[in-house]
Amino acid sequence: MTKLYDEFGFDTVNIGPLSESWRVERDRPAYVVRQNAEELGENLARAPRAI
């Protein structure tokens, strides 16, 4: 599936298991922000566990 995303011009970033999905929830740095793969990785790392 990642090959298809690449063909469309998108980067694929594995953020881990479903238990880590909180990193892209509302009010987190990676939520609804236009970013490349590197920026997404940085934003996922900066996400606070609890607000």
Q: What is the pLDDT of residues 6-48, one digit of tens each?
A: 899 888 889 999 999 999 999 999 999 999 999 999 999 999 9
Whole-number Å distance between alpha carbons of 43 and 29: 5
Cα–Cα nearest to 15, from 7, 4, 28: 28
Domain count, the chain: 1
pLDDT at res. 44: 95
Return all residues near 9 (Cβ < 8 A) that are at least 6 apart: none
pLDDT at res. 24: 94
For the chain, give the DSSP string: -HHHHHHTT-------SGGGGGGGSTTSTTTT----HHHHHHHHHH--S--
Report if residue 51 sits inside a domain: no
Q: What is the pTM for the complete model shown? A: 0.75
Q: 27: domain range? A: 2-46
